[in-house]
Amino acid sequence: MSAYGEFETMIREQRFLIEGLTEMGYRVEEHPEGAALIGYHGDERPERAEVIIRRAQLDSASNDIGFVREKDGRFRAIVSEYDRSIGYDDKWLGKVHQHYKEKQTLGMAQAKGYIFRGKEVVQTPNGPQIRLQFVVR
């Protein structure tokens, strides 16, 4: 044993955000210049985002969910109060981060030559945790 670290995940890489959301079952739109979010009346909202889950995939009274890139390079989720109240809340955003981090870790490891040895999903009272193991070539 030689080192240990704990890290707070920052969503910065769009392709891994898309991969994670896709694995969660969403069809995701990418808009390099940003596109308007649509509200539950079909109205165009003032918020714009680079990554969008359209409301048709959510609830009949949902608004679009967007992920907008901030000036520091991080993505911030735009979720309406209504959608937060029906389950697209912090717990859901935690799952988004979890899927993102898994994809980002696997992508980085492959690019840098680490050898992937396996994935295990560990059930805990707070929800599933993902364990990934690698070895050094």
Partner 1 sequence: MQQKTITVLIDETGNSSVDLDGFAGHGCEKVLKDFQGDDFAKVQRKKPVFYSQTSEGQGRQLKSGR
Cβ 28 vs Cβ 18: under 8 Å = yes
* Contact between 131 and partner 1 per CB under 8 A: yes
Q: How deeply is 37 buried, as exposed, middle or buried, from its count of CB atoms within 10 A (0-12, 13-18, 19+)?
A: buried
Task: List binders of partner 1 among 7-26 (CB under 8 A).
Answer: 7-10, 12
Residue closest to 45 by CA, chosen among 59, 55, 30 = 55
Which of 15, 30, 108, 110 is the binder for partner 1 (CB under 8 A)?
108
d(CA 41, CA 26): 21
Which of 26, 40, 82, 114 is the binder for partner 1 (CB under 8 A)?
114
Q: Which is nearer to partner 1, 36 or 78 (CB)?
A: 78
Residue 22 CB, shortest distance to partner 1, in Å, is 16
Q: Which is nearer to partner 1, 7 or 81 (CB)?
A: 7
Please give the DSSP secondary-structure letter assigned to residue 21: H
Q: Where are the beta strands (DSSP E) in 11-126?
A: 28-38, 44-53, 65-69, 75-78, 115-124
12's tokens: 């910065």
Which of 2, 42, 46, 71 is the binder for partner 1 (CB under 8 A)?
2
In the complex, which residues of this chain contact partner 1 (CB under 8 A)? 1-10, 12, 73, 91, 94-102, 104-105, 108-109, 112, 114, 117, 122, 124, 126-136
